[in-house]
A and B are shown apart, each in its own frame.
Chain A
Amino acid sequence: MEQIATTALFYDGYSARPAPVRVVLADGRLHLHDPYDDVFIQSFPLAGISHNGVGRYHFFYLDPQGLVYLKFEEDHPLVPQLLQELSASQRGWASRLMRQKLVLLIPIMLALSVGLYFLLVGLVPFIGLRLISRDSEITLGNKLHAVMMEELSFVGSTPDTAGTYRLQAFAKNLQLSKEYPIRLTLVHSDIVNAYALPGGQVVVYTGLLHKLKTPEALAALLAHESTHVNSRHSMRSLLRSSANGLLVSVVFGDATGISGALAGNLENLSGLRYSRSLETEADELGMDLMRRNGVAPQGMVQLMKTLQTVGDMPSELSFLSSHPLTKTRIKRAEQYCEKWSTVPANTRLQHSFDALQEAVAEVED
């Protein structure tokens, strides 16, 4: 049997003072002998040995804690064979990957990142929407609403009680949601704004109401916002961006990222920014909702054209989150309307609309 014997420095894990030993590599084990009288000291299986080459030396750690080790000079004759046998005895995914070239590893990493992204973005909202009950969504929305109403006074706005009553009366003509109690609040403010919170709270600003000339346009606004509620768009956005945060923390191994992403996105719930695709969905399902209520979907086109003329808008304006209101959205709404014959004007809606506008005008005076 082939044996290579030679001397090295041995650190025994009790003191920092090394002792010379004669090392014999045989049978997949390292055998240590006293260099003077050749008395056998101890032997170690190669499978449990790890290596570190640094500076002018090679260190072979003989125990898992790395306390007992051998130190070889860089050009020691035993080192090449020892390294070769060690590398053959190493298993596990990490060592296998470490043997590959970077040109292979980098594309693997990129492909996996992209794959994981699509998996998470699909899976997290799917599971999340099933885990979060409608009741807790409503509770959460109510809490947010209460906070936002309190904050109104800081920007010099107030809820308009009489107007809110009239706005609710207007909405009573429509069935906006089967699953959620849609509760409307009219806020007295010059800002052109309206938004929906998760669970059914919808807030409309008088600045926007003034711009609307027809009951159909108002119905379109309410239908659009109600669709955000019905289709749980806030929850979907929240879950989707949490999935992004999750991806970042998985890829970069940063555990705090998960809670950070969640915290950051909770803000978005009140920030009310939706992706362009969710807005388009709210437009379309909103027009479906209008038709089911016997309201002409052309109101949506009127609403969009009205809003297009408005200059500076608050960035958090839900309806215009794809700001400026894209021509595609208007075009799509027009195409939608062409498919349906005109719906006769709804007189009850007109009546409630007039009452609402009157009530708001009175407060202004």
Chain B
Amino acid sequence: MKEFRSYPIAFEGSGFDYFKIQIVNTILTILTLGLYYPWAKEKSLKFLYGKSTFEETPFVFSGTGSEMFRGFIKAIAVLVVIYGLFFYLVLQGHNGWGILVIYGGLLALVPLAIHGSYRYRMAKTSWRGIRFGYTGNRGELVKLFFKGIFLTLVTFGIYGAWFTISLRNYVLGHVRVGNARFVYSGDGSDFFWINFKGYLLTLVTLGIYSFWWQKDLFEYYVNNLRLEQEDDAVFFRSTATGGDFAGLMIVNFLIMIFTLGLGYSWVVTRTMAFGANHIEANGYYSFEQLLQSQAEYSDATAEDMADLLDFGFVI
């Protein structure tokens, strides 16, 4: 008989430890005139993953600075080509073509960067020695992305909610950990109403409702996620309230202001701990059934591209 149980989630990193890592990263980044950046990222991610635990077992990030450095060079090369072509066309007087190249080029990079960065990040994430993986298809994601962009444009942005959820369903639905799979079952119209209500009430309450809006968004993200293997499943549930979010965000804001940004490390660890403390996992699954099934993948080009284009990892 399967037992319904809950799985503890925690983040145990201290802001002080993370701050020290950031200081050492900064010193080495300056000494190398910025070239240390990928190794700095490795150190930060290893810390944040290593202090995040599920069932008292930490996650492992095994990406390396040298992989991300090679990826960084390739990503820069792609951007140089796009920007170079743009400046060439504009200086030749073909402004229209130039703008087409720069917007079209950068836009086309977005789904490629999402796909590639998920592949890299998941292949480099493990838990209990079992690798994560991303099994999405690049062509399918590109199609989904451009269809979404097109429909969002012709509906003056209204389709944006459905677009976001379709990407999320696709991307998160192709995340694996060993032989278990994640499933995300979001619905565009639910997401639309959350945002519609959130936007209106935030306006009416002069911004105060934004914490409750944030709570709804977080809840929608977490509660629609589950992990499945055959008949077993683990469900995730948010326990955060709007008041919790207000506390987190206001204090984070004050830390940033009064430390002139130096307190950023504490903002990160506080936020991580907040997430861990406000997600519950319950289910029937015994993680001892997990088997290594996902392939190794070490090309970090897209991961670096996502950094360069400045969009977060999370969809």
B137 within 8 A of A: no
Check A250–B34 contact: CB distance below 8 A.
Answer: yes
A242 to chain B, nearest CB (A): 14
Give the residues from 278 to 296 in chain B that come closer than 8 angstroms, CB to CB, to chain A: 287-292, 296
Known: A67-B131, A98-B20. A250 touches B292 (CB 8 A): no
The one of B19, B30, B39, B178 that contacts A94, using a Cβ cutoff of 8 Å: B39
Q: Give the residue name and chain of the A residue nearest to B21 (CB).
A: A98
Give the docked Cα–Cα distance between A60 and B268 (Å).
Answer: 25
Check A109–B23 contact: CB distance below 8 A.
Answer: yes
Q: Which residues of B contact A69 (CB under 8 A)?
A: 129
Give the docked Cα–Cα distance between A31 and B174 (Å).
Answer: 39
Known: A98-B20, A250-B34, A251-B30. A11 touches B128 (CB 8 A): yes
Check A12–B307 contact: CB distance below 8 A.
Answer: no
Pick from B23, B26, B53 the residue with the most CB of A within 10 Å.
B26
Q: Give the residue name and chain of the A residue nearest to B83 (CB).
A: A259
Check B34–A105 contact: CB distance below 8 A.
Answer: no
Q: Give the residue name and chain of the B residue nearest to A257 (CB).
A: B310
Q: Give the residue name and chain of the A residue nearest to B307 (CB).
A: A255
B224 within 8 A of A: no
Q: Give the residue name and chain of the A residue nearest to B79 (CB).
A: A259
Give the residues from 253 to 289 in chain B that come closer than 8 angstroms, CB to CB, to chain A: 287-289
Give the docked Cα–Cα distance between A68 and B289 (Å).
Answer: 17
Q: Which residues of A contact B62 (CB under 8 A)?
A: 64-67
Known: A16-B128, A65-B126. A52 touches B58 (CB 8 A): yes
B209 to chain A, nearest CB (A): 31
Mark contacts of A50-65 with chain B using CB atoms, 8 A cut-off: 1 yes-contact digit, 0 otherwise.
0010111101010011
B29 within 8 A of A: yes
Q: Which residues of A contact B237 (CB under 8 A)?
A: none
Q: What number of A residues sit within 8 Å (CB to CB) of B? A: 42
Known: A13-B129, A57-B56, A69-B129. A256 touches B310 (CB 8 A): yes
B168 within 8 A of A: no
Give the docked Cα–Cα distance between A208 and B197 (Å).
Answer: 54
Check A106–B308 contact: CB distance below 8 A.
Answer: no
B165 within 8 A of A: no
Mark contacts of A112-135 with chain B using CB atoms, 8 A cut-off: 1 yes-contact digit, 0 otherwise.
110010000000000000000000
Check A255–B308 contact: CB distance below 8 A.
Answer: yes
Check B292–A251 contact: CB distance below 8 A.
Answer: no
Q: Give the residue name and chain of the B residue nearest to A258 (CB).
A: B34
Give the docked Cα–Cα distance between A57 and B130 (Å).
Answer: 19
Q: Which residues of B contact A65 (CB under 8 A)?
A: 60, 62, 126, 131, 296
Q: Give the residue name and chain of the B residue nearest to A99 (CB).
A: B24
Check A61–B34 contact: CB distance below 8 A.
Answer: no
The one of B24, B34, B72 that contacts A98, using a Cβ cutoff of 8 Å: B24
User: Is chain A's interface secondary structure helix, strand, loop, or mixed overall?
Assistant: mixed
Give the docked Cα–Cα distance between A69 and B240 (Å).
Answer: 34
Check B40–A253 contact: CB distance below 8 A.
Answer: yes
Check A12–B129 contact: CB distance below 8 A.
Answer: yes
A3 within 8 A of B: no
Give the docked Cα–Cα distance between A61 and B127 (Å).
Answer: 12
Check A56–B128 contact: CB distance below 8 A.
Answer: no
Check B60–A112 contact: CB distance below 8 A.
Answer: no
B51 to chain A, nearest CB (A): 6
Q: Which residues of B contact A109 (CB under 8 A)?
A: 23, 26-27, 30
B263 to chain A, nearest CB (A): 13
Give the residues from 3 to 57 in chain B that come closer than 8 angstroms, CB to CB, to chain A: 10, 12, 19-21, 23-31, 33-34, 37, 39-41, 43, 50-51, 53, 56-57
A132 to chain B, nearest CB (A): 13
B289 to chain A, nearest CB (A): 8
The one of B34, B50, B288 that contacts A16, using a Cβ cutoff of 8 Å: B288
Known: A253-B41, A255-B307. A108 touches B290 (CB 8 A): no
Give the docked Cα–Cα distance between A98 and B91 (Å).
Answer: 49
Check A105–B23 contact: CB distance below 8 A.
Answer: yes
The one of A14, A61, A139, A251 that contacts B91, using a Cβ cutoff of 8 Å: A139
B179 to chain A, nearest CB (A): 10
A249 within 8 A of B: yes
Known: A55-B56, A65-B126. A15 touches B27 (CB 8 A): no
A17 within 8 A of B: yes
Mark contacts of A85-121 with chain B using CB atoms, 8 A cut-off: 1 yes-contact digit, 0 otherwise.
0000000011001100010011011001100100000
Give the docked Cα–Cα distance between A75 and B244 (Å).
Answer: 35
A286 to chain B, nearest CB (A): 32
Q: Which residues of A contact B26 (CB under 8 A)?
A: 109, 113, 251-253
Check B307–A97 contact: CB distance below 8 A.
Answer: no
Mark contacts of B52-84 with chain A using CB atoms, 8 A cut-off: 1 yes-contact digit, 0 otherwise.
010011101010100000001000000000010
Give the docked Cα–Cα distance between A54 and B9 (Å).
Answer: 13
Q: Which residues of B contact A67 (CB under 8 A)?
A: 60, 62, 126, 129-131, 292
Q: Give the residue name and chain of the B residue nearest to A250 (CB).
A: B34
Give the docked Cα–Cα distance between A25 and B290 (Å).
Answer: 30
Pick from A12, A94, A98, A252 the residue with the most CB of B within 10 Å.
A94
Q: Give the residue name and chain of the B residue nearest to A11 (CB).
A: B129
Q: Which residues of B contact A255 (CB under 8 A)?
A: 37, 72, 307-308
Apart from A55-B56, A66-B60, list 5 A-B contacts with CB within 8 A: A15-B290, A16-B291, A57-B56, A249-B34, A256-B309
Question: Chain A residues in contact with chain B, CB under 8 A?
Answer: 11-17, 52, 54-57, 59, 61, 64-69, 71, 93-94, 97-98, 102, 105-106, 108-109, 112-113, 116, 139, 249-253, 255-256, 259
Shortest Cβ-Cβ A-B pairs, 10 listed: A66-B60, A16-B290, A16-B128, A11-B129, A17-B288, A250-B34, A112-B30, A256-B310, A97-B24, A67-B129
